[in-house]
């Protein structure tokens, strides 16, 4: 595995996980005024690492031409998913996960489920949605 590809992978994984963490912190309804310094530091490190990755060309494409990350929608344009691909495709196996479709009204149950499967050899994400309502 090339070092530049490893850096692009690290930058993409860092961005994905810190974006998730910052969204969770923002949605937790805690007193955010006391955490601005910390959340800014988390954001800033993702920018710094992404800037390093950009020194080696397009940070969204590995040296062999494969994408670093693939994204797709699960339910219209309201729920999406993405996957950061390992820089060494031999190290990654297909994976699946599932979840409940979101209900945007707390008094209404989930309208169904979704299942996501990743295919490393083609860098595709397949989504299957089953609606129960």
pLDDT (tens digit per residue) in 49-92? 999 999 999 999 999 999 999 999 998 888 999 999 999 989 99
| Measured distance CA(90)–CA(131) in Å, rounded | 35
pLDDT (tens digit per residue) in 1-57? 899 999 999 999 999 999 988 888 877 666 556 778 888 899 999 999 999 999 999
Q: How open is the CA angle 4-23-78, to the nearest 5 degrees?
A: 95
Helix (H, G, I), strand (E, B) or coil at 53: helix
* Short-list 17, 19, 20, 11, CA closest to 59: 11
* Short-list 130, 104, 112, 118, CA closest to 71: 118
Tokens of 75: 């339910």
pLDDT of residue 21: 87
pLDDT of residue 106: 87
Burial level of 106, CB count in 10 A (0-12/13-18/19+)?
exposed
pLDDT (tens digit per residue) in 94-121? 999 999 999 988 899 999 999 999 999 9
More confidently predicted of 131 and 30 = 131
pLDDT of residue 29: 65
């Amino acid at each position: 595995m090339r070092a530049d590809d490893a850096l692009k992978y690290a930058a993409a994984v860092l961005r994905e996980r810190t974006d998730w963490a910052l969204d969770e912190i923002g949605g937790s309804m805690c007193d955010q005024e006391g955490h601005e310094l910390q959340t800014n530091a988390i954001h800033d490190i993702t920018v710094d690492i992404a800037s390093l990755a950009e020194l080696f060309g397009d940070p969204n494409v590995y040296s062999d031409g494969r994408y670093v990350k693939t994204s797709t929608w699960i339910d219209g344009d309201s729920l999406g998913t993405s996957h950061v691909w390992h820089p060494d495709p031999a190290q990654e196996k297909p994976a699946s996960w599932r979840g409940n479709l979101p209900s945007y009204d707390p008094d209404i149950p989930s309208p169904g489920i979704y299942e996501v499967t990743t295919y490393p050899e083609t860098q595709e994400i397949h989504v299957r949605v089953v609606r129960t309502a």
